[in-house]
Structure 1
């Protein structure tokens, strides 16, 4: 067995011994420190052996080998990268800490860049042809996140959001004769409260995956972070309000009177039903709609609508409406932005003044707890990860939202 292989095996054994020392409740802190210091000295010797071998590789491969491929610099740091670069993560890996909590700011999303890494498998002769390294990880595809961006944003340090609304206003203001009775103006206020709900998930990667930073980044982003964000997307619309769920827009009382289209759905009936709700919000609620949320299948019905001449209302595949120059209309209906998403059920359309009528409050960003002492994780070489976020939805003007039911 070569010295390098033996050094790597010994380092792995030292890691196991270190975890056992940390988890041994019969030892005092002083005894633990003494043993860990001894392991550290051994580890230093093995590291020097490996370093000498790597230096020899570089010298021997420096003649004819092609230059080593280097990854481009990516400035942005993703959610997962912030985790693996955190002190808590490094402590978990190097010292075998039983549990650690890491908080990552809410702004970190999967859209941010991942700094790529490269690990070569060349022997002493080096790589004859260095592969071209492409940055990042090819992510899985998911439903785009859109609903939260429609609403106003805020933060909170409380477990609930309380606010006062004007519930009723009776305005009897009028002309008054001399010495006549002056009509009264009645104003009714009401206090509302929305609780901060929680969205969370857990995962159990193996220790090998946990120690591989690149795999760990992909695992977190494609599974845990997006899982929370997708659940949030649905909760903002459909949450039932039963603790710990938020109460979604569609389940609020006081929404504008629903519009129901006549049976036998057509593009014209759908478009006219949506315009009727737009008009109701303007004329009754005095709210200017800024978005229409619609299921892709329902949007298809509208988008493929034709007149009696067989021409598409919104324009054909290559031109604007009725042959006019320009692209076909794919972004709005009746001058209002259209958001096409599966977060809303087919057959239901939501029209609203989202920015002025509702607001999302976040208790904190997405937090991540990690431990290797949950259940039998230590025995089975698993690490338990728990990701969660807390948020509340305040709907100041329920009447600023209205639904349209598209009757088949």
Structure 2
């Protein structure tokens, strides 16, 4: 059946037709050559497949029998020990006079997706979806920001502190002798103290996960800051401790009597005590629990004094900012003119150092990470600080 318009091929059954017609014998010969080539390629694939199957069979046999022989390089056939002693690094070390130093040999291992503690087990390092690391919460450090800070280059600071004054100022008649006043100074020395701590980390962890370096640094430096904040407030001055503000502050004593005084009243009276001592306060330090207690106080109608819970309230009492920190003991407070009361003298800024200098680190492939800072602290005007108790906790 012939379909009009369908493409047609006309064959000429001659050895060589004119006008470019296709020769049937040549066409059949071309098909035969192509088939021979495909058969040859298939045979090659079969040989290679058989070789792979043989290798897999050998591996399965070795696994079944438990191969306890020496690991050999697939490239050279040498054992690891032979490669090690013949490596240029080891030869150079052995040829030195004192044979001190370090030599290493890098070997290629078969990589697997296993997570076992074995060479080539890289399953733990394979790409996976990962969320951010979950770290322990960090306290917001606030006490240092209240105080002036000076950089020093020595290990101690001498500060002349006024111990007493004699004020004989008086009205003077014309031609009369003027009275003399005087002040008494005491030279005090404040030694720089070191705050430090360290931790161990594997070299592999730091090399494989560079972001951990920053996390370690932040954790270490945060630890220094927490210790410093506690020392600035409560250090007792013994041994290597700083002499903090709380032990040297003036004890709270209400200048006037208020009936049924609330916690807000107590802070108001402490501010008055500072003002009467000629040191108007620029800050109030208390525990977060005490600030929340004040924030939750209500009036006679049951309304929150500082506004509804949905409102944002700046921690401030009588116009003076409140600094809430867990470093302050619950039920206690410190009111002060901090900018004149005390000074921080930084000898070393906080820093982090990494070393592998001891033998234990070397043989265990570990790093020692050290963080430290050095500072002196001077409370110059104890009258500028008022320390007291809210009286709610027995």
- Distance in 2, Cα, partners of 1:247 & 1:357: 13
Equivalent position of 1:402 in the other structure: 386
Equivalent position of 1:256 in the other structure: 250
Given the alignment of the two structures, is residue 294 of structure 1 paired with residue 286 of structure 2, yes or no?
yes
Q: Would the aligned equivalents of 1:260 and 1:405 in 2 still touch at CA under 8 Å? A: no
Equivalent position of 2:166 in the other structure: 170
- Distance in 2, Cα, partners of 1:401 & 1:121: 58
- Distance in 2, Cα, partners of 1:258 & 1:369: 44
Q: Show CA shifts across 1:281-301 (max 9, x none).
A: 1112x1121110110111122
Higher relative contact order structure (alpha carbons within 8 Å, sequence separation ≥ 6): 1
Q: Would the aligned equivalents of 2:355 and 2:368 in 1 still touch at CA under 8 Å? A: yes
Q: Would the aligned equivalents of 2:244 and 2:379 in 1 still touch at CA under 8 Å? A: no
Structure 2: unaligned runs, 5 residues or longer:
1-70, 109-123
- Distance in 2, Cα, partners of 1:218 & 1:302: 36
Alignment of 1:173-322 (within 5 A): 173-177=169-173, 180=176, 182-212=178-208, 213-222=210-219, 224-252=220-248, 255-259=249-253, 268-284=261-277, 286-318=278-310
SS in 2 for 1:376: helix
Structure 1: unaligned runs, 5 residues or longer:
48-118, 123-129, 319-326
Matched residues, number: 300
- Distance in 2, Cα, partners of 1:283 & 1:366: 38
- Distance in 2, Cα, partners of 1:181 & 1:168: 24
Equivalent position of 1:96 in the other structure: none
Q: Would the aligned equivalents of 1:291 and 1:354 in 2 still touch at CA under 8 Å? A: yes
Q: By how many angstroms is 1:365 displaced?
A: 1.8
Q: Show CA shifts across 1:132-181 (max 9, x none).
A: x98x8665321111000111111111111111122222211112345655
- Distance in 2, Cα, partners of 1:338 & 1:208: 46
Q: Would the aligned equivalents of 1:260 and 1:404 in 2 still touch at CA under 8 Å? A: no
- Distance in 1, Cα, partners of 2:272 & 2:317: 13
Task: Indicate the structure (1 or 2) with the bigger Cα radius of gyration.
Answer: 2
SS in 1 for 2:153: coil
Q: Would the aligned equivalents of 2:217 and 2:352 in 1 still touch at CA under 8 Å? A: no
Q: By how many angstroms is 1:394 displaced?
A: 1.9
Q: By how many angstroms is 1:198 displaced?
A: 0.9
Q: Show CA shifts across 1:58-107 (max 9, x none).
A: xxxxxxxxxxxxxxxxxxxxxxxxxxxxxxxxxxxxxxxxxxxxxxxxxx
Equivalent position of 2:57 in the other structure: none
Name the CA shift for 1:240/1:270 in 2 (closer, same or farther; >3 Å): same
TM-score, normalised with respect to structure 2: 0.65
Q: By how many angstroms is 1:211 displaced?
A: 2.2
Given the alignment of the two structures, is residue 377 of structure 1 paired with residue 344 of structure 2, yes or no?
no
Q: Would the aligned equivalents of 1:350 and 1:402 in 2 still touch at CA under 8 Å? A: yes
SS in 1 for 2:201: coil
Name the CA shift for 1:193/1:121 in 2 (closer, same or farther; >3 Å): same
Name the CA shift for 1:273/1:380 in 2 (closer, same or farther; >3 Å): same
- Distance in 2, Cα, partners of 1:306 & 1:364: 48
Q: Would the aligned equivalents of 1:291 and 1:339 in 2 still touch at CA under 8 Å? A: yes
Given the alignment of the two structures, is residue 156 of structure 1 paired with residue 152 of structure 2, yes or no?
yes
Q: By how many angstroms is 1:404 displaced?
A: 2.0
Equivalent position of 1:105 in the other structure: none
Alignment of 1:33-72 (within 5 A): none
- Distance in 2, Cα, partners of 1:32 & 1:379: 14
Name the CA shift for 1:157/1:167 in 2 (closer, same or farther; >3 Å): same
Equivalent position of 2:26 in the other structure: none
Q: By how many angstroms is 1:273 displaced?
A: 1.2
Name the CA shift for 1:328/1:204 in 2 (closer, same or farther; >3 Å): closer
Name the CA shift for 1:5/1:176 in 2 (closer, same or farther; >3 Å): farther
